[in-house]
């Protein structure tokens, strides 16, 4: 499996790497089976986070016996030095290791003050000095904060959403990281599931040698497809460009990326799914959304109090309550004409 250098870390990671977030939805034994298959196929880089429920534990359970052969990145949402170190202790136990290869701050807003001895950045530096982590990084959904972090020279890696529907401004991060020798980890290569054809996505991202996409994998079939693409990379030819451009046209403008920073919702609205329901109904098998549960969940939007929590926490600046109401109106119309077609 082809390797690439992850910026100034000098870590040689597989160009096809594993985003472990979706495995929190899978039972331990099945998660282990998937992770072992990935390792046996040659994938050596696994990205997780303290916030991904039991994803760290699953890596520890499945791969601790091959720890010296893999590279692990995890994240902490902590805002202070002491909280970073406390989170790190938990991560080390969960992952069954005595060091983390890359510890990342998880979407900090604002960026921490590097001169503040009590900041989360100070926690990263101390962890590195104590040998608990090898390199330090940051994940972000904000272009402004991502580019500022890279330009600061303080971080070895950046994790940022990169897909074939990314804007030119977002794609400019690739060149910035290349020129400043910052390792670039590409999250959401399928844009939170809205890109339903992985072939053009793989072909497009493969052309950037300094970009390491982490493919979010939940099912063995998904892993097998990505492994097939890695073994026989699809060419970014005219046919693939046509598919890329179709996705760009259909997914243009503001839409929910399902990052989940809007949660929790006081009205218990499943915002990361509900706020993009119109796209899901037309880009995924729609029958699953005609269930009684989804009917009830979508109608929770009627209980929205417009408290502002989701709007204030959206890293993309979406007016989430307004978007949710639009999604509900469309869902009602779609449901009225399609629900009876479901057996």
pLDDT of residue 192 exceeding 90, the answer is no
pLDDT digits (tens, 9 = 90+) for 193-244: 889 999 999 999 999 999 999 999 999 999 999 999 999 999 999 999 999 9
- Give percent above pLDDT 90 in the chain: 92
- Based on the number of CB atoms within 10 Å of its own CB, is 83 exposed (0-12), middle (13-18) or buried (19 or more)? middle
Long-range contacts of 110-113 (CB under 8 A, 24+ apart): 110/145, 111/138, 111/145, 111/148, 111/149, 111/152, 112/79
- Prediction pTM value: 0.90
CA distances from 76 to 25, 198, 285, 303 (A): 20, 29, 35, 32
Q: Are 310 and 319 in contact (CB under 8 A)?
A: no
Can you tell me the mean pLDDT for 47-63? Answer: 97
Place 53 in a pLDDT band, splitting at 50, 70 and 90. Answer: very high
Helix orientation angle between 220-231 and 28-41, rounded to the nearest 10 degrees: 10
Q: How high does pLDDT run on average in the chain?
A: 96
Determine the pLDDT at residue 190: 95
> Per-residue pLDDT for 258 more than 90?
no
Secondary structure of 152-169 as H, E, C letters: HCCCCEEEEECCCCCCHH
Q: In which band, very low, low, confident or very high, does the pLDDT at 85 lie, cut at 50, 70 and 90?
A: very high
Per-residue pLDDT band at 251 (split at 50, 70, 90): confident
Sorting pLDDT into bands at 50, 70 and 90, what band is 183? very high
**H helical segments located in the chain:** 28-41, 55-63, 81-95, 120-129, 143-152, 168-180, 198-206, 220-231, 238-250, 271-274, 277-283, 292-299, 309-313, 320-338
Q: Tens digits of per-residue pLDDT, 118-170?
A: 999 999 999 999 999 999 999 999 999 999 999 999 999 999 999 999 999 99
Query: What integer pLDDT is reported at residue 342 of this predicted model?
Result: 87
């Amino acid at each position: 499996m082809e390797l690439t250098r992850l910026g100034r870390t000098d870590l040689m990671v597989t160009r096809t790497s594993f985003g472990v977030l979706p495995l929190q939805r899978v039972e331990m034994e099945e998660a282990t089976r998937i992770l072992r298959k990935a390792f046996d196929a040659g994938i050596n880089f696994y990205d997780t986070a303290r916030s991904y429920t039991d994803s760290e534990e699953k890596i520890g359970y499945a791969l601790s016996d091959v720890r010296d052969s893999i590279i692990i990145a995890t994240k902490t949402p902590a805002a202070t030095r002491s909280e970073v170190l406390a989170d790190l202790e938990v991560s080390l136990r969960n992952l069954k290791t005595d060091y983390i290869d890359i510890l990342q701050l998880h979407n900090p807003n604002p960026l921490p003050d590097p001169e503040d001895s009590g900041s989360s950045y100070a926690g990263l530096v101390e962890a590195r000095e104590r040998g608990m982590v090898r390199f330090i990084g940051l994940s972000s959904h904000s272009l402004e904060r991502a580019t500022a972090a890279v330009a600061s020279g303080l971080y070895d890696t950046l994790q940022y959403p990169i897909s074939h529907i990314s804007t030119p401004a977002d794609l400019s991060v690739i060149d910035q990281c290349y020129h400043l020798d910052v390792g670039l980890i590409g999250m959401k290569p399928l844009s939170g599931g809205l890109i339903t054809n992985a072939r053009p996505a793989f072909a497009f991202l493969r052309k950037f040698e300094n970009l390491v996409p982490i493919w979010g994998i939940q099912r063995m079939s998904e892993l097998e497809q990505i492994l097939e693409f890695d073994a026989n990379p699809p060419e970014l030819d005219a046919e693939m460009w046509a598919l890329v451009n179709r996705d760009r046209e259909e997914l243009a403008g503001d839409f929910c990326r399902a990052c989940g920073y809007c949660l929790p919702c006081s009205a218990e609205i499943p915002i990361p799914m509900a706020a993009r329901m119109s796209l899901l109904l037309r880009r995924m098998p729609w029958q699953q959304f005609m269930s009684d549960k989804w009917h009830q969940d979508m109608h929770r939007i009627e209980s929205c109090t417009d408290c502002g929590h989701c709007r204030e926490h959206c890293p993309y600046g979406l007016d989430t309550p307004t978007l949710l109401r639009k999604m509900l109106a469309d869902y009602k119309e779609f449901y009225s004409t399609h629900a009876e077609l479901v057996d």
